[in-house]
Amino acid sequence: MSVAKRILVVEDNDLNRKLFCDLLRAKGFEVEPVADGRDAIEKTRLFMPHLVVMDIQLPNISGMDLIEAIKADEELKAIPILAVTAYAGKGDEESIRDAGAEGYLAKPVSIGPFMAAVNALV
């Protein structure tokens, strides 16, 4: 029996966070939800996930800043990040990928593409 892959879900919207977590748990992942972006770096350090699902529009701190902080950290930079954002304007995907995210999805996210993106990164 292989050890479940760990996924950190950083999402301030309760409904989205629950949906992502329920979906990932149903697929056999170990999931750690984070509602406040300010806790994301510390939680990433403690949990050492195989993937971070990162909402870009967070209160208090931007998901972009968090991606850059994770990628600037020697211990954390190898962890892939899947950015999920409702704010999908022209050039956003490029700037999010420039910040270091390996994956990008625009909301609303449907289950198929979400799981495909997760599976491609873990």
Share of the chain above pLDDT 70, in %: 98
Domain ranges of the chain: 6-121
pLDDT tens per residue across span 32-64:
999 999 999 999 999 999 999 999 999 899 999
pLDDT of 122 strictly over 90: yes
> What CA–CA distances, in Å, run from 100 to 9, 21, 64?
17, 23, 9
Query: Lowest-confidence range among 32-36, 78-82, 84-88?
Result: 84-88
pLDDT at 2 over 70: no
Amino acid in position 6: R
User: What is the structure's pLDDT at 1?
Assistant: 53
Secondary structure class of 44 (helix, strand, coil): helix
Tell me which of 3.90.380.10, 3.40.190.10, 3.40.50.2300, 3.30.1360.200 is the CATH number of domain 6-121.
3.40.50.2300
Band the pLDDT of 86: cuts 50, 70, 90.
Answer: confident
Q: Which residues of 17-51 are buried (b: 16+ CB within 10 A; e: fewer)?
A: bebbbebbeeeebebbbbbebeebbebbeebebbb
